[in-house]
Structure 1
Amino acid sequence: MTEMLDHIREAVKVLPGVEERQEDGATVFLVEGEAFVRVDGAATVRGDDGWVALPDSDAAAIDDAVAHAWELAAPRGLLEAGGR
Structure 2
Amino acid sequence: MTDPLSNVREAALDLPESEERLSHGQPTFFVAGKQFAQFRHNHHNDHKTVVCVRVSGLDEQAMLLEADPDTYSKPAYLPSWLSINLSGEGVDWAHVADRIAASWELAAPRRLLEAGGR
TM over 0.5: yes
Greater share of residues in strand: 1
Alpha-carbon separation, structure 2, partners of 1:55 and 1:40: 10
Question: Which one has the largest radius of gyration?
Answer: 2
**Gap regions ≥5 residues in structure 2:** 42-49, 58-79
Aligned residues: 83
Q: Deviations over 1:12-45 (max 9, x none)?
A: 2331110100111111100000000011233211
Identical pairs, percent: 43
Q: Deviations over 1:30-83 (max 9, x none)?
A: 000000001123321111121101243001110110000000000000011112
1:47 aligns to 2:55 (yes or no): yes
Where structure 1 has 5 or more consecutive residues not aligned to the other structure, the ranges are none
Stretches (4+) displaced over 2 A: none
Contact 2:13 2:20 in 1 (8 A): no
- Kept after mapping to 1: 8 A contact 2:29/2:36: yes
How do 1:1-84 residues align onto structure 2 when only pairs under 5 Å count? 3-41=3-41, 42-49=50-57, 50-56=80-86, 57-84=91-118
